[in-house]
Amino acid sequence: MFDMATRSPQLLARLAGVFFLLTILNGIIAQALISERLIDFSDAAATANNILANKGLFQIGFTVYLIEMACQATTAMLLYRLLKPVNADLALLMLLFEFTGIVIKTAARIFYITPLWALDNTAAMNGLDPAQIQSISILLLRLNDIGAATALAFFGFSTLLAGFLVFRSNYLPRFLGVLGMIAGIGWLTFIYPPFGYKVFIFAALIGLLASTVKIFWLIVYGVDEQKFNSVEASNT
């Protein structure tokens, strides 16, 4: 797939758009439709009961989270190849920031699934009463959220760099780059999490808008292939 894509800038762009879309859709399914439905951080007992009553759904949430990260890793590689002709060093730095966030977020998902094991294996938790196990489960779920928030800071760096590279590319419209840089600044607020959480709704809305426009453009219009080839040839 990657070999074929590197020979066709349009295919490269459209694949990036498709996998970007899959990343967002899987994230929405796992977070909004599953995780937030079952987890109530203000009520450990209710959360424990929800998880035990919906074991299959909770496990599906974990699976979808992993698919989300696989799609994001694929998107990162495709965008790296798409933006490498602009500046290879900055594109590589963008990729490294993105993969750092992916590793952190994927590792955090271990804390998401562990409470199911703790709640469902009371014999292994011998010596702890149900309330204590429920408290530990909420703590683990909170660590999952903290890990995901930490990853957002690194995604902020990668998104900012991607926006700059798009702006400089000449084969993608500059307004996409501007939107990307603004979205990146929004995610960078999570360098200081207390502030990031306060402005999350604004950062998320801006990020979703920028992502939606970028996905639409990549899938429908792709890149100016002639300009892409010209930039790539001039930097070879």
- Would you give per-residue pLDDT tens digits along the chain (236 residues)? 555 555 689 999 999 999 999 999 999 999 999 999 999 999 999 999 999 999 999 999 999 999 999 999 999 999 999 999 999 999 999 999 999 999 999 999 999 999 999 888 776 677 788 889 999 999 999 999 999 999 999 999 999 999 999 999 999 999 999 999 999 999 999 999 999 999 999 999 999 999 999 999 999 999 989 999 988 888 76
Q: What confidence score (pLDDT) does residue 17 get?
A: 97
- Cβ neighbours around 109 below 10 Å, total: 19
Residue found under tokens 């780059």: 177
Q: Token pair for residue 4?
A: 């074929």
Domain residue spans in the chain? 2-231
Q: Which residue has the tokens 């490294």?
A: 96
Q: Which two tokens stand for residue 200?
A: 């999350």
CA distance 155 to 142: 20
CA-to-CA separations, 2 to 7, 13, 112, 202, in angstroms, rounded: 9, 12, 32, 35
Alpha-carbon distance of 224 to 172, in angstroms, equals 7
The reported pTM is 0.92
Residues 131 and 141: their CA atoms lie apart, in Å, by 15
The neighbour count for residue 122, using CB atoms within 10 Å, is: 12
Percent helix / strand / coil, the chain, rounded to 5? 85, 0, 15
CB distance 93 to 17 below 8 Å? no
**pLDDT score recorded for residue 202:** 95
The tally of CA atoms less than 13 A away on the side-chain side of residue 161 is 24
Burial status of residue 129 (CB atoms within 10 A of its CB: 0-12, 13-18, 19 or more): exposed
Question: In 10 A of CB 130, how many CB atoms?
Answer: 13
In Å, how far from its chain's centre is CA 36?
17
Q: What is the DSSP string of 161-214?
A: HHHHHHHHHSSS-HHHHHHHHHHHHHHGGGGSHHHHHHTHHHHHHHHHHHHHHH
Give the pLDDT confidence score for residue 173 in this predicted structure: 95
Q: Which two tokens stand for residue 60?
A: 């599906």
